Amino acid sequence: MIMRNVRLVIVSLALMLLLTIVVSWQLRSAAQRHTATDTYAITNARIVTVSGPAIDRGTIVIRDGLIAAVGANVAAPPDARPIDGTGLTVYPGIIDASTTLGIPRPSPTPGAAPGGLAALFASQAAPSATSPNSTQPPGMQPEILASDLIKPGGPEIEAARNVGITSAQTAPRGNVFLGQSAVINLAGDSPQQMIVRSPVALYVGLNPLGGGQYPGSLMGVFASIRQMLLDARRYQEANEIYERNPRGLKRQNYDKSLAALQPVIAGRMPIVMQADREREIERVLDLAKEYNLQMILNGGLEADRLAARLKAANVPVLLSLNFPKRTTAASPEAEPEPLRILRERVEAPRTAGRLAAAGVRFAFQSGGMTSITDYLANAAKAIDNGLSREEALRAMTLRPAEILGVASQLGSIEVGKIANLTITRGDIFDKNRRIAYVFIDGRPLDLRPTAEIGSRGPNASGTWSLTVNLTGSGNEKQEFTAMLSLQQRAERLTGSLQGQLGSGTISAGTISESDVNFTVPITFPGPGSQTTDAIFTGSLAGNQISGTVQIVGRGAGTFTATRSTVPTSAPAPTPSPDR
Amino acid sequence: MKTLMIIVCLIFLANVAGAQSPDRTKTRIIRNATVLTVSHGTLVNTDVLIRNGKIAAVGQNLKAPDDAQVIDATGKFVSPGIIDAHSHTMMDGSVNECTKSVTSMARTQDILNPTAIGIYRELAGGTTAALLLHGSCNAIGGLSTTVKLKWGHPAADFPIPGATPGIKFALGENPKRTNFNIPGLQPRYPATRMGVEETIRDAFARARDYKRDWDDYRAGVARDEKNLIPPRRDLELEPLVEVLEGKRFVHSHCYRADEILMLMNLADELGFKVRTLQHVLEGYKVASEIARHGAMASAFADFWGYKMEAYDAIPYDVAIMTRHGVVSSVNSDSDERARRLNIEAAKMVRYGGLTEDEALKLVTLNPAMQLGIENRVGTIDVGKDADVVVWSAHPLSVYTHVEQTFVDGELLFDRQADIARRAQLEAERKTLEAAESNKSPAQGGTPPRAPSAIRRAYTHDDDIQDGEDRRP
């Protein structure tokens, strides 16, 4: 009897072994036939298609990066990886209609050591790239393509994905002609895998150039835009005449900037112009009308005041969700803020609802917000202030797809479209929603709890004891001390200075890795002393910053700052932002 | 929350309502005032009827329609609106395009800010129109805009239709940059007065060539020539061609007598007239020459010594030029001075003995003539635009203040209404400050602005190189 049992056991073991081998063989073949991660079926989920009525309980099948099937009665195919969608809602992937995602910040040029006024004039919007052999200075080169600059991955793209954003329009940074944007998916190992459409639109900005270069003022910016557009028209005319019969005619010099403007002046490529206040929006609308350009308005804080004009001109709006909010601390000695600013902050969330009521097409964009979690939170605020849920969702999905020319690929859950999906537990506009899954190009992504970008790395926030040593002439005092208060948010530094060098607020502060740069107005002690700008350049190590300082009109010197643990309580006077 | 919504709705409605209010076409009658017509003397116990934005009648015991708003001006004075012939109010961004020595392509009209509070404050000082100029950074600056201060209107309503366009020139220390020391700034030609002259001469030589190229092209097209490539349109040179053709006024910032003579001689050589010399603080030294050339002058009342080229300035400058037949005005070059140009004019009675009528002309009819708008404004005459100010006392008295200011017949400043509105604004402020988006962040937060020992009165200051207080 024991013999029979032993035989039974051996046979069972052998069978089990055989079965394991066979099964693993099968699995391996399956893996070789199609990647096990190519096909998904999300079952029993609420599906908000945006293009049609919502499906209370249905299934989506994703295959090969596209939506293969969607419906209440769709069966999950056997080779699909099942995802139980009970309690989940599936939305089309959120599109952020205007960003600089994927385009690295320009590294500070080594040659441009901050020298006096040159650095004072240093533009906040340093261009993303320089086009080779261009007739125009950097910042004014329309030939720059976002698609040439995109790098995959990075903390900003990750942070955007973590809140459910799956694609974005991204454009280079710059001054006047920033470059041509692209629509990208926020996943992919190479730029080529990310780009959905390029070029999309030419971004035109109203930021003067720095470093004493023309244009150095808003007036000059307008004049230079006009002149370039006129030159582009003439370039086309002249080349046409020349091409017909070159003999006897002097050739035009080749100009790739003017060549890049041709689709714009022909109306085939829209321009995106940033404007928030009513008068700014009027200016850009007038400019587009003057040269018969297709325009998309970027920003649009006060766009509701010009809703009728926007509708009549068929100008869509990329509405910023970066609502203004108060950033200064409370203080009993604080001067009251102007009514205009107080009103603006209260009015901002109302713009979307008013635009919808007036029939103006708009899409939401993040507006450069440093904390991307505000994107959905502010969209919810817009809903609280008169925007319907459907319009809000549309403004994050199908509308941006339409405006950016990718509506046949993105923006809604329809068979054949790219499988970009944002899947939430709870309604997407609900405060307590969680992002359960994000699919981009049919692949689910690793989601991490959102951390504020830049929270890793050296932190310059705090109160510092500053000592400045000037290499001056004569019997002027050489050493000055002050208290420096710094706040760091991502790569921006704000703060103030108070002490022997008067009081001032930091106007242009950046920190990148351990490189600290900031400019602050100072006043030397003594009667009749004028206020001038001091430009600090240093590096941060632990609780010490040291470096050089350039004082306009006074010369150069060195400084050291040591972090103290005693926070300053004296508020410093700051010039009010005149905007 | 509901109160907040109501109040904000009301504000929104008020804004909308303001834009469409019947205020513009309202008929008004100012009764029983002392009317300083500027053109035909002072009329006592006189009424002024305003209808459809124009001065419809001036006389005693006028008949007015029943629905006319009656303003009882017994004991009060009425004058034409003050015109500021040198202003940088309501401009966004920098008033200067400093990067080149010739920036005639820059236009002040591109950067108008109709919400600048300076506009309202100037109306409260009786100023109703202004010449908005480019700064004095360049030998040839940008294009100017002649505006009426139409508070509450969109930017497009401000420029005066039909006003002759202008351009700013600058001579002396500002364009050659000797009055401020900025190490590290790339040196820009010109650095001397000779260079300033040459810059202007060269620009006009290029403008002449440009005009000739286009004339040749147009002639070629008229002759039906084929395959002609048009010359490049150059936005810098086109305004200079307009100057040569007499279609654009030249307003030139200048101080020293030698540069004043230089410019007038240069203009004669090139074939145009300087329209106004601005600041022109040594104009008294060359008043006859200015009169002979046919230029007009717009100066400060008594601002002097703030830089070397202003050292020889005297407060009798305007009076002396006036006595030599130069049409002179007193300007502000400052958001702050533009609120009290009546006092600046009054100073010229003290310095130089101008009569009250002559002094009042310095800020009304004379600047209107300088800007080429004297057919519309500058005096109280039937048919002219109703740009009218009601004063509590004679406008040249230090005790006066403005009661009402009308522009094109619209009441844009009313002292009583302003005082009454303050309580409402306070209430609105309290509600707004309680709103969530106006609360300070829970933690962190940058230090807020707090009063300090030295405080700049106006954040936007104009042509500061002309000596404005540069302390913060």
Q: A505 is written with which tokens?
A: 């607020």
This model of the complex carries an ipTM of 0.91
- Is A555's CB within 8 Å of B439's CB? no
For residue B17, tell me if it sits in a domain.
no
The pair of structure tokens assigned to B282 is 């040594």
Q: Which residues pair with A550 in a beta bridge?
A: A535, A556
Which residue carries 């599109």 as its tokens? A95
Q: Kind of pairing, strands B276-279 and A462-470?
A: unpaired
Distance from CA of A163 to the nearest CA of B (A): 22
B113 and B96 within one domain: yes
C-alpha triplet B132, B148, B428: angle, nearest 5°: 100
Half-sphere exposure of B165 (CA within 13 A, CB side): 17
Task: List, in sequence order, every residue forming a beta bridge with A493; answer none if it has no partner.
Answer: A488, A509
Same domain, yes or no, for B405 and B355? no
| Degrees to nearest 5, angle at CA B85 with B82 and B88 | 105
Domain with B188 in it: 82-196+233-377+457-467
Q: Check: CB of residue B15 under 8 Å from CB of residue A304.
A: no
CA dist B388 and B234 (Å) reads 41
Residue B442 forms part of a structural domain: no
Instruction: Read off φ and ψ for residue B450, nearest 5 degrees.
Output: -135, 155
The pLDDT value given to residue A335: 86
AA letter at B291: A
8 A C-beta contact, residue A100 and residue A111: no
**Which residue's structure tokens are 């200016």?**
A283
Rounded-to-integer distance, Cα A48 and Cα A41, Å = 16
pLDDT of residue A35: 53
Q: Are residues B405 and B289 part of one domain? A: no
Residue B301, domain member (yes or no): yes
DSSP letters of A258-321? Answer: HHHTHHHHTTSS-EEEEE-SHHHHHHHHHHHHHTT--EEEEE-TTGGGGHHHHHHTT--EEEE-
pTM: 0.81
In chain B, whose CA is at the least distance from the CA of A117? B185
Q: In the 8-state DSSP scheme, what is residue A374?
A: H
Rg (CA), chain A: 29
3-state helix, strand, coil in chain A (%, to 5): 25, 30, 45
For residue B18 the two structure tokens come to 């303001």
Say yes or no: B130 and B74 in one domain: no
Q: How far is CA B469 from CA A329, A469, B414, in A?
A: 30, 29, 30
Q: How far is A231 from chain B, CA to nearest CA, in Å?
A: 7
Of B97, B115, B439, the CB nearest to A219: B97
Using a CB-CB cut-off of 8 Å, the residues of chain A touching B182 are 116-117, 552-553
Residues of A with CB below 8 A from B134's CB? 219
Do B395 and B273 reside in the same domain of the chain? no
Q: CB–CB of A346 and B447 under 8 A?
A: no
- Closest alpha carbon to B176 in B189, B163, B160, B164: B189
- A26: three-class secondary structure by DSSP: helix
The confidence score (pLDDT) of residue B22 equals 56
User: CB distance B110–A283 less than 8 Å?
Assistant: yes
> What tokens does B36 get?
């300083």
Phi, psi of B462 (to 5 degrees): -75, -140
**Residue in A118, A242, A575 closest to B459 by CB:** A575
Q: What is the model's pLDDT at position B445?
A: 78
The total domain count for chain B is: 2
CATH number of the domain at B37, please: 2.30.40.10
Task: Report yes or no: A155 at the B interface, CB cutoff 8 Å.
Answer: no
Answer whether A228's CB lies under 8 Å from A261's CB: yes
Q: Nearest residue on chain B to A338, judged by CA atoms?
A: B429
Contacts of B252 (CB under 8 A, 6+ apart): B168, B169, B170, B171, B263, B274, B276, B277, B278
Gap between the Cα atoms of A516 and A502, Å rounded = 21
- DSSP string of A213-257, one letter each residue: PSP-SHHHHHHHHHHHHHHHHHHHHHHHHHHH--TTSPPPPP-HH
> Can you tell me whether residue A9 is helix, strand or coil?
helix
Tell me: the pLDDT tens digits for B177-219? 876 666 666 678 999 999 999 999 999 999 999 999 999 999 9
List all residues 6 or more positions away from B349 whose beta carbon is below 8 Å from its beta carbon.
B355, B356, B359, B396
Alpha-carbon distance A493 to B148, whole Å?
A: 42
Yes or no, beta carbons of A531 and B110 under 8 Å apart: no
Q: Has residue B422 been placed in a domain?
A: no
Helix (H, G, I), strand (E, B) or coil at A142: coil
A175 touches B: beta carbon within 8 Å:
no
A87 φ, ψ (degrees, to nearest 5): 80, 0
pLDDT tens digits, A406-435: 999 999 999 999 999 999 999 999 999 999
Q: Does A118 touch chain B (CB under 8 A)?
A: yes
- Which two tokens mark A155? 């903390």
Domain assignment of residue B334, yes or no: yes
DSSP code of residue A35: -
The minimum CA-CA distance between B436 and chain A, rounded to whole Å, is 8
Q: Do A550 and A535 form a contact (C-beta atoms < 8 A)?
A: yes
Q: How many CB atoms lie within 10 A of CB B372?
A: 17
Q: Are residues B252 and B188 in the same domain?
A: yes
| Nearest residue, CB atoms, A329 vs list B182, B428, B447 | B447
**Per-residue pLDDT tens digits for B249-278:** 999 999 999 999 999 999 999 999 999 999
What's the pLDDT at A6?
82
Say how far apart CA B278 and CA A310 lie, in whole Å. Answer: 41
3-state SS, residue A522: strand
pLDDT by position in tens, chain B (length 472): 666 665 555 555 544 444 445 566 789 999 999 999 999 999 999 999 999 999 999 999 999 999 999 999 999 999 999 999 999 999 998 899 999 999 999 999 999 999 999 999 999 999 999 999 999 999 999 999 999 999 999 999 999 999 999 999 999 999 998 766 666 666 789 999 999 999 999 999 999 999 999 999 999 999 999 888 899 999 999 999 999 999 999 999 999 999 999 999 999 999 999 999 999 999 999 999 999 999 999 999 998 888 899 999 999 999 999 999 999 999 999 999 999 999 999 999 999 999 999 999 999 999 999 999 999 999 999 999 999 999 999 999 999 999 999 999 999 999 999 999 999 999 999 999 999 899 988 877 788 877 777 655 544 334 444 433 333 3
Does residue B261 sit within a domain?
yes
Do B158 and B266 belong together in one domain? yes
With CB atoms and an 8 Å threshold, state whether B445 touches A244: no
Work out the minimum CA distance from A247 to partner chain B, whole angstroms: 10
Q: What CA–CA distance (Å, rounded) separates B190 from B170?
A: 12
Residue B279 sits in the same domain as residue B391 = no
Size of interface A-B (CB pairs under 8 A): 232
In chain B, what residues touch A252 (CB-CB under 8 Å)?
Answer: 229
Listed as ranges, residues in chain A with pLDDT below 70 are 1-3, 20-37, 107-125, 449-458, 471-477, 527-528, 565-579
**Nearest residue of B to residue A346 by CA position?**
B437
Same domain, yes or no: B178 and B32? no
> Do B289 and B171 fall into the same domain?
yes
Q: Are residues B61 and B134 in the same domain?
A: no
Strand B54-59 relative to strand A492-499: parallel, antiparallel, unpaired?
A: unpaired
Chain center to CA of A222? 25
Q: Does residue B27 fall inside a structural domain?
A: yes
How far the first Cα of chain A sits from its last, in Å, is 97
CA B459 to chain centroid, in Å, comes to: 18
Shared-domain flag, residues B139 and B191: yes
Specify if B437 maps to a domain.
no
What pLDDT is stored for residue A500 in this prediction? 85
Q: How many CA atoms lie within 13 A of A113 on its CB side?
A: 7
pLDDT of residue A27: 57
B226's CB contacts (< 8 A; 6+ apart) are none
User: Mind spelling out the 3-state secondary structure of chain B?
Assistant: CHHHHHHHHHHHHHHHHHHCCHHHHCCEEEEEEEEECCCCCEEEEEEEEEECCEEEEEECCCCCCCCCEEEECCCCEEEECEEEEEECCCECCCCCCCCCCECCCCEHHHHECCCCHHHHHHHCCCEEEEEECCCCCCCEEEEEEEEECCCCCCHHHCECCCCCCEEEEECCHHHHCCCCCCCCCCCCCCCCHHHHHHHHHHHHHHHHHHHHHHHHHHHHHHCCCCCCCCCCCCCCCHHHHHHHCCCCEEEEEECCHHHHHHHHHHHHHHCCCCCEEEECCCHHHHHHHHHHHCCEEEECCCCCCCCHHHCCCCCCHHHHHHHCCCCEEECCCCCCHHHCHHHHHHHHHHCCCCCHHHHHHCCCHHHHHHHCCCCCCCCCCCCCECCEEEECCCCCCCCCCEEEEEECCEEEEEHHHHHHHHHHHHHHHHHHHHCHHHCCCCCCCECCCCCCCCCCCCCCCCCHHHCCCCCC
Question: Which chain B residue shows the shortest CA-CA distance from A529?
Answer: B471
**In A291-397, where does DSSP find H-type helix?**
307-312, 339-347, 351-358, 374-384, 389-396
Q: Are A217 and A208 in contact (CB under 8 A)?
A: yes
Please give the backbone phi and psi of residue B32, each rounded to the nearest 5 degrees, phi first.
65, 40
Q: What is the pLDDT of residue A577?
A: 40
Closest chain A residue to the Cα of B90, Cα to Cα = A279
Q: What residues are paired with A534 via a beta bridge?
A: A520, A551
